Amino acid sequence: MDVSQLQLKRNITIKAIVTPLWKEEAQKQLQSQINQTDSRLQQLEMQSQRVVAEVQKQAADPEDPAVKQQIASVQNKLNQDKSKMLQQKNQLLQQLQSVQTLELDQEVNQGQAESLFTVSQGDNLIKKMQVEILLRDGVIEEIRGEL
Three-state SS across the chain? Answer: CCCCEEEEEEEEEEEEECCHHHHHHHHHHHHHHHHHHHHHHHHHHHHHHHHHHHHHHHCCCCCCHHHHHHHHHHHHHHHHHHHHHHHHHHHHHHHHHHHHHCCCCCEEEEEEEEEEEEEECCCCHHHHHCCEEEEECCEEEEEECCC
pLDDT, residue 57, reads: 81
Report yes or no: 118 and 32 within 8 Å, Cβ to Cβ: no
**Predicted confidence (pLDDT) per residue in 88-123, tens digit:** 999 999 999 999 999 999 999 999 999 999 999 999
Q: Please give the Cα distance from 82 to 120 (Å, whole number).
A: 54
User: Domain residues of the chain, as ranges?
Assistant: 1-19+104-147, 20-103
Average pLDDT, the chain: 92
What pTM was estimated for this model as a whole?
A: 0.75
pLDDT, residue 52, reads: 82
pLDDT of residue 86 exceeding 90, the answer is: yes
pLDDT of residue 2 exceeding 60, the answer is: no
**Predicted confidence (pLDDT) per residue in 47-79, tens digit:** 888 888 888 888 777 777 887 888 888 889 888
